[in-house]
Amino acid sequence: MTVVSEPKGASPPRRRSFYDKDVQAIVWQAVFLCVVVAIGWFLYRNTMQNLAARNIKTGFDFLGSEAGFEIGETLIAYSPAANYTRALAVGFLNTLQVAIIGIVLATLLGIAVGIGSLSKNWLVAKLTAGYIHFLRNIPVLLQIVLWYTILISERFLPGPRQAEAFLGIFATQRGVYFPVPQAHAGWTAALVGFLLAAVALTLMSRWNAQRREDTGTARSLFLPGVALLMGVPFLAWALNGAPTAIDWPTLRGFNLSGGARITPEFAAVLFGLTVYTSAFIGEIVRSGIMAVPKGQTEAARALGLKPSVILRKVILPQAMRVIVPPLTSQYLNLTKNSSLSVAVGYPDLVNVANTTINQTGQAIEGVTIIMIVYLVTSLATSAFMNWYNERIALVER
Partner 1 sequence: MEAAPPKILDDRAQWLRANLFSSPLNSALTILILVALALVVPKILSWALFNAVFAPDPQACRAAKGACWGFIVEKFRLMTFGTYPYEQQWRPLAVTILLLSLIGATMNLRLWGRRLWITWAICVPLMWILMRGGSIRIPWVLISGALVLTGLIGLARNIGFRDWRFISTLVLLLAGVYRFASSGVFDYPLFLATGMPLVETDKWGGLPLTLILSANGIVFSFPLAVALALGRRSELPVIRALSVGYIEIVRGVPLITVLFMASLMIPLFLPSGITVDKLLRAQIGFILFAAAYEAEVIRGGLQAVPKGQYEAADALGLSYWNKMGLIVLPQALKVVIPPMVNTFIGFFKDTSLVIIIGLFDLLGAVRLASSDVEWRIFYVEGLVFVALVYFAFCYTMAVYARRLETHLNVTTGR
Contacting residues toward partner 1, per CB under 8 A: 25, 28-29, 32-33, 36, 43, 46-47, 49-51, 53, 119-124, 127, 133-134, 137-143, 145-146, 149-150, 153-156, 332, 336-337, 339-340, 342-343, 350, 354, 357, 363-364, 367, 370-371, 374-375, 378-379
Shortest Cβ 242–partner 1 spacing (Å): 38
Using alpha carbons, list the distances in angstroms from residue 72 to 109, 262, 317, 373.
Answer: 29, 12, 43, 21
Shortest Cβ 30–partner 1 spacing (Å): 8
Shortest Cβ 284–partner 1 spacing (Å): 13
What amino acid is encoded at 99 in this protein? A
Q: Which is nearer to partner 1, 93 or 144 (CB)?
A: 144
CA atoms within 13 A on the CB side of 280: 22
Q: Which is nearer to partner 1, 47 or 65 (CB)?
A: 47
Shortest Cβ 78–partner 1 spacing (Å): 23
3-state secondary structure of 258: coil
Q: Which is nearer to partner 1, 221 or 367 (CB)?
A: 367
* 134 contacts: CB under 8 Å, gap ≥ 6: 279
Report the C-alpha gap between 229 and 214 in whole angstroms: 27
Report the C-alpha gap between 358 and 274 in whole angstroms: 30
Q: Which is nearer to partner 1, 200 or 367 (CB)?
A: 367
- ∠ Cα 315 316 320 (to 5°): 125
Shortest Cβ 378–partner 1 spacing (Å): 4
Shortest Cβ 146–partner 1 spacing (Å): 5
Report the C-alpha gap between 267 and 263 in whole angstroms: 6
Q: Which is nearer to partner 1, 74 or 381 (CB)?
A: 381
Q: Which is nearer to partner 1, 221 or 357 (CB)?
A: 357
Give the pairing of strands 170-172 and 175-178: antiparallel
3-state secondary structure of 354: helix
